[in-house]
Amino acid sequence: MEKWDVHTHTTLSPDTFAALEKYAHYADFIRVRKHASKPCCAVMVNARGDVQREVEENAYDGAARIRDCDRYGVTVQVLSPTPMMIPDYVDNGDDAEDICRVLNDDNAATMARFPDRFRALAALPMAFPDRAIREMERVRRDHGMPGIEINSNIDGRDLDDDALFPVFEAAERLGMAVFIHPWGGFMAPADPKLKPRMNLNRNWRPWLIGMGMETAIAFDSMRSGRVHERLPGLRVMYAHGGGAFPALLGRLEHGAYCRPDLFKDPQQLNPFDVVRKCGVYADTLVHNPAMLKALIEILGVERVAMGSDYPYPLGEMDCFDPVTRTNLYGYACPYPEPKGVYPGYDVERLAISKEDKLRLLSGTAKEWLGSA
């Protein structure tokens, strides 16, 4: 069976490090440089030069990624930028557009080098909608990119902000898929009481819980702002199995029934109808077969696509080496043996028909990308 992995991330290539020097004055700016002592690794550094994350070459090198794909039977990967690298925080339109151009051209080069193995999603300067549309048109025209990746909020602005609607209109017009990935918001709140509760050292809470909350709010924004309803042909994929939103659909529906006065537009589609009638998709990345079955029951196999979060630790490629039982950072596996998970692991274990497995592993991805 073919496997099309809709949720994989890239960093910039270390080759772009010098070219991005001029943007290092932005506090949240991240770029990538070669590792000082490990030839097959790189580091993501912030504006001050502090190392934020160590990555292996499979984060930016197409040939290294293909070796892993061949090992785990992945036919095609959909490349999307690591969310922290999307310049939503940049307050200068020229700078934001140029950073996105560097990100997109870097991924487009990988896609062009291995056209049978990769598709790529573009980063957009969403804070500047006219520029975002221009960049979307450029990557479609010049690189044949099939879609875009955006964060769950745009530097604190919900996705139903009126200024952003023309971007979604353009995506529908161009036939571009949209991948919404959580970042910011509840993962890094400014509220002085909430901030310590979402501390990274509290069981990795921003990533494990904050991300799910962010994705739920992103869906509610797209739903309550009637973006999905007004653009039913817009194909939108929500990361991590939709985060918390599938579990909250009943609560959203019941809340509108109980207190219609609290909803700005009480005539909007029922939350379940938004999922059924509009272009709402989710990936399979829920790490639990029971939850995956529930997600499929809610959305249907035609709206769920395999996603692995490759190559990061929370993904579906085991981060612990089966021989050394350690990971990239030298931490030992907390279990007697590594889990041995791989892209598509939970899908392959489902007791469903071969046709449904084909749909989950590749069919839905192709339809979402417009490749079916």
Amino acid letter at 166?
P
Indicate the pLDDT class of residue 39, thresholds 50, 70 and 90.
confident
Distances (CA, A) of 171 to 128, 132, 134: 15, 10, 11
Percent of the chain with pLDDT over 90: 90
- Residue closest to 18 by CA, chosen among 31, 29, 1: 31
Cβ contact 221:271 at 8 Å: no
The answer, yes or no, to whether residue 220 has pLDDT greater than 90, is yes
Q: How many CB atoms lie within 10 A of CB 365?
A: 30
Q: Which structural domain, as residue segments, surrounds residue 299? A: 4-8+58-369
Mean pLDDT, residues 230-256 taken together: 96
Mean pLDDT, residues 284-308 taken together: 97
Quote the tokens at residue 127. 């804070």
Distances (CA, A) of 9 to 55, 59, 62: 12, 7, 12
Distances (CA, A) of 177 to 103, 123, 236, 368: 18, 12, 6, 6
In tens, the pLDDT along 147-168 reads: 999 999 999 999 999 999 999 9
Amino acid letter at 298?
I
Mean pLDDT, residues 48-65 taken together: 94
Indicate the pLDDT class of residue 329, thresholds 50, 70 and 90.
confident
The answer, yes or no, to whether residue 129 has pLDDT greater than 80, is yes
Residue 25, in any domain of the structure: no
In tens, the pLDDT along 13-31 reads: 999 999 899 999 999 999 9
Indicate the pLDDT class of residue 306, thresholds 50, 70 and 90.
very high
Residue 290, in any domain of the structure: yes
The answer, yes or no, to whether residue 198 has pLDDT greater than 90, is yes
Report the CATH number at residue 275.
3.20.20.140
Strands (E) located in the chain: 4-10, 31-34, 41-45, 51-56, 76-81, 118-123, 147-151, 177-181, 236-238, 280-283, 304-305
Mean pLDDT, residues 114-133 taken together: 98
In eight-state DSSP terms, residue 154 is B
Residue 22, in any domain of the structure: no
Distances (CA, A) of 127 to 24, 28, 92, 98, 148: 19, 15, 9, 13, 15
Residue 32, in any domain of the structure: no
**pLDDT recorded at residue 267:** 66
Phi and psi at 334, nearest 5°, equal -75, -5
Residue 236, in any domain of the structure: yes
Count of domains in the chain? 1
- Residue closest to 86 by CA, chosen among 180, 221, 225, 189: 180
CA angle 125, 126, 127 (to 5 degrees): 95
**Cα gap 340→159, rounded to integer Å:** 37
Q: Is residue 76 helix, strand or coil?
A: strand
Residue 104, in any domain of the structure: yes
Residue 215, in any domain of the structure: yes
Mean pLDDT, residues 280-303 taken together: 97
Q: Where is average pLDDT lowest: 178-182, 268-272, 299-303?
A: 268-272
Residue 303, in any domain of the structure: yes
**pLDDT recorded at residue 260:** 87
The whole-chain average pLDDT of the chain stands at 95
Indicate the pLDDT class of residue 266, thresholds 50, 70 and 90.
low
The answer, yes or no, to whether residue 5 has pLDDT greater than 90, is yes
- Residue closest to 221 by CA, chosen among 175, 173, 265, 171: 265
In tens, the pLDDT along 167-195 reads: 999 999 999 999 999 999 999 999 999 99
Query: Pairing between strand 41-45 and 51-56?
Result: antiparallel
